[in-house]
Chain A
């Protein structure tokens, strides 16, 4: 039994506690989901349990956290690791070594397990997670999902009683999320306690037992999974939560295309090294469209958008932008990629300067206008790095806008975002469509697609597998579901059609 007993916590300088008077008892073998808006305190609750607060991040804690009536507070982190293991959000930055085997061994080595036993423990973790094929692989060749599996195996090897997962799905595709759900199920069946903080909820439907909703550092609502599923969609959304039942969602954007062609691809093939990754791509898109690019990881979605934006040069076929043939240089001028990690594309030391940086000949009036429209005018003197994640994203869009790009490409703009931030991104994209831009979004987020896209281009088998409009017709509703069904291979995720939601 893991028990939070009237726990409150305040970070160093903050004037408001990030966790307030939390009482929570979690039985062994249970899986508990902590949800709520970004900054609601769910990550802090995990960090209090694993000792990173106060040992790593600082902070003052009152109350107590007990595991089997032993207080975890005041224990050094290196003693807690044997009781509670943590899997973090970004698989990229939780790897300490450079190959999968060393990574799985890393934690156990720190626990000073005898060298004769190490090999057996490490092999056992690979077997239990069913990832024996990844042994000895270089970390840099693993996909996001594989990295996450290795990270979990590394914790598994240390054999803690409690698993703390901090937004583990944010960087994963649908396949990998399905596997994650499976792994959580397996941990539970071994009698482990699992505590998750998460925004994306649908994959937890079959594994989670209790759901706690946090707001302002307090646990304000609790549900069982059944109760949560029975909650009306409107109420769930007003709490800022994503759906647990994807069947509740269906495409709702009904935008009429302008009829003016913006982009045409004919017989395009994209190569990586000498290998053709994509072939025979024909695509015509109009101004004002929002095209969702979907498909499994590794089918070449990223390569496609890099070729489209002129960042990747190794391709054949013709690209036409606004009726004119567009070579690589021209595409670099006409198209703009908003990266998943926007931090890499902000260079200047103020928001205002950012809109001029490297562009040349942008008038003050144009900058002020675009900042006002994107709701950044109040921040124009601030340093871009002091902005929130959402503001940074808007600033990157502002740069694309002010530099007169016709095509904007978003790479996974909603990973790790709560429901409301997702709606904001959706609104932002809608506005740009309204202005007559052509938008492409690479995404795995079905809820976001429903909210935003007018069309889906499905990549697979070395090219475009399917291409359809998300209109009111039955096929426009059925096809996206089929894609996400097929990709997850988890029957039951779209269990029953709900009868009447907005």
Chain B
């Protein structure tokens, strides 16, 4: 996933982790949806600078689509389907900005960089290793999904939204049973492989990718903090 080619500016992974955290606060404190949308635009810009444009664009496009859907369905909330659409799109527009931040971090950060960054932030090994396994496991899940979808189609169970509406329980069951089984196996083998390559070593691990906190990092962090402070001040002083 993490690909250094095409990255316009090199920013320390620690900065990227802070970006994820502060970005979350931006959304939490956003007073209106318009402000929130503005932040999403800002995240998108940051994604382009960090070299995660394609992945971030997809998430942002979904966000835009959902806002349109929300605006449209707002007029039809008296119909059952309008209410469903409205609730769905509202929920999703609330979640997507956070997802966008996660997508940016995961797609620009290598597992080893991420581990190194957390170690430098003095996070305990007990936390870092499970986090690293999680990041590693996420893309594998997508591949497994595709296999299970094939298997369902051969059984005549349609793995689509329509199929889900028609036979919700069967569809859900189809995914979670094989996923759970394979997740247990994959996690076990993955951990064994990591242990057999010394992940538990007492020595402080080193990292191939050099890590330096530069001017760009300070500038970016300063910008993030400034925006957050302004946002909070406006929030406090604004009449409700």
Contact = CB atoms under 8 A, between A and B. Distances in A.
Interface in B1-17: 1-5
Contacts of A333: 156
Interface of B: 1-5, 110-112, 132, 136, 139-140, 143-144, 147-148, 150-157, 170, 173-174, 177-178, 181-182, 185-186, 189-208, 210
B154 A140 contact: no
A77 B200 contact: yes
Contact of A347 (B4, B110, B174): B174
A487 to B, nearest CB: 26
A93 interface: yes
Nearest to A55: B195
A101 interface: yes
A311 B153 contact: yes
B206 A102 contact: no
A93 B208 contact: no
A463 interface: no
Interface in A336-353: 336-337, 339, 341, 343-347, 349
A346 B173 CA distance: 11
B195 A102 contact: no
Closest 10 CB pairs of A and B: A358-B155, A345-B151, A112-B203, A78-B201, A94-B193, A93-B189, A110-B198, A107-B197, A81-B198, A105-B208
18 contacts: A52-B192, A77-B195, A78-B200, A81-B197, A81-B198, A95-B193, A96-B190, A97-B112, A105-B112, A115-B210, A122-B208, A136-B4, A311-B150, A345-B148, A345-B155, A360-B156, A385-B181, A399-B155
Interface residues of A, number: 67
Contacts of A56: 191-192, 195
A154 interface: yes
Contact of A98 (B136, B148, B181, B190): B136
A158 interface: yes
Given A78-B200, A96-B132, A97-B136, A358 B170 contact: yes
A490 interface: no
A102 B112 contact: yes
Given A94-B190, A115-B207, A344 B198 contact: no
Nearest to B144: A344
A324 to B, nearest CB: 19
Residue from B186, B190, B193 whose CB has the most chain A CB atoms within 10 Å: B193
Given A88-B192, A96-B190, A311-B153, A347 B178 contact: yes
B111 A347 contact: no
A78 B198 contact: yes
A339 B151 contact: yes
Contacts of A358: 152, 155-157, 170, 174
